[in-house]
Amino acid sequence: MSNHYDALGVSRDATAEEIKKAYRKLARKLHPDVNDAADSQDRFKAVTHAYEVLSDPSKRRVYDTTGNENGNSNGGGGNYDGQGFAFQDIFETFFGGAGGGQGNGPASRTRRGQDALITVRIELNEAVFGVNKKLEIDTAVTCPTCEGTCCRPGTSPVTCDVCHGHGQIQRPMRSILGNVMTLATCNSCQGFGTRIEDPCNECMGEGRVRSRRTLTIKVPAGVGTGTRIQLAGQGEAGPAGGPAGDLYVEMKVNNDPAFLREGDDLHATLSVPMTAAALGTELTLETFDGEQPITIKPGTQAGEIITLRNLGVTHLRGYGRGDLKVHIHVETPTKPDAAQEELLKQLAALRGETFTAGKLVSSGGMFAKLRDKLGNL
């Protein structure tokens, strides 16, 4: 008696999946239709019989215990006559699961609808605090006339008189083992088991139509460009009354003329007159939270940053907000009149600054400090 494990080329502790994989590989290689070697038919029968035994847990248990599939221990293996052959497995091997067994029954017309993706633009202040957005979308919706049945109101699908509702028909096929019956999709009903003889005029038997619908979405605070919001069941309706897919809303945040966003922080520029920067003052800045007081300390320099805590963008996945960073820009007079120019000269003189032909040649500030440093060397 040949060893079934050796015939399939697997070990005695091989899993059911390993045994099935080994059999399918050998069956493709040894089948007489693709292998005309003299011994291919005998080898094909041997591996098929080995698979029949080892793929059945009870037969395999008996075989492992007694050494043969008959359950006796006299070493006799019995004669294989082709009965009990695993037709479904071999037809799956050669015909992609088209034959053997009782099939999976009729197919369903009802299918899930496709997911949809739309882009929505919002303003920066809406991203900071969140907003409810009303959308109008063109999509597939369940047909209001037939309510997804695909049939004209008052009618219903009729059972296919070819496959009698099974969605499949049996066909004979010749093989080395004789005639066997295979299952094929019924061409009359396309495998559904029923036919729609009087389709709905509104959806032409699809069970859904294109329509524009309105919905309101809640955009959470803190979203940014590229953030996607998933709305389950708000996508396209499926055929024949099938469930709708999901709707994905991708956010695009418009640029703001006054504020620049970096992460959850906002940045703004505040222009301050030169005199106000030198003397100090109180100003107000219009923010998304309303007017905020800004204290300009005496001697404030251009480029300094004043941070207003918790006035930035709301954290999307947490509590609190980022900061608002105010960048100070000091305005210098560009075209002073005669009176202003005279006052500036007086200020320069008081500061020890000397100008010759429009050039600064000495300063009680910068030059004096440099001279002192050099003198100490």
Annotated binding site for Zn(2+): 143, 146, 160, 163, 186, 189, 200, 203
Query: Are the C-beta atoms of 92 and 102 separated by less than 8 Å?
Result: no
In the annotated binding site, the residues are 143, 146, 160, 163, 186, 189, 200, 203
Query: Are the C-beta atoms of 158 and 197 separated by less than 8 Å?
Result: yes
For residues 131 and 176, give the distance between their C-alpha atoms in angstroms, rounded to a whole number.
Answer: 71
Q: Residue 326, SS3?
A: strand
Query: Cβ atoms within 10 A of the Cβ of 316, count?
Result: 14
For 344, list phi and psi in degrees, rounded to 5: -65, -35
**Encoded amino acid at 43, one letter:** R
DSSP 102-148: S---PPPS--PPPPEEEEEEE-HHHHHH-EEEEEEEEEEEE-TTTTT
For residues 290 and 310, give the distance between their C-alpha atoms in angstroms, rounded to a whole number.
Answer: 13
Q: Residue 46, SS3?
A: helix
**Encoded amino acid at 125, one letter:** N
**Encoded amino acid at 178, one letter:** G
Closest to 367 measured CA to CA, from 349, 356, 354, 377 = 354
Closest to 153 measured CA to CA, from 209, 199, 204 = 199
Residue carrying structure tokens 């590989």: 25
Which tokens go with 175? 């093989």
Query: Are the C-beta atoms of 64 and 52 separated by less than 8 Å?
Result: no
For residues 174 and 258, give the distance between their C-alpha atoms in angstroms, rounded to a whole number.
Answer: 81
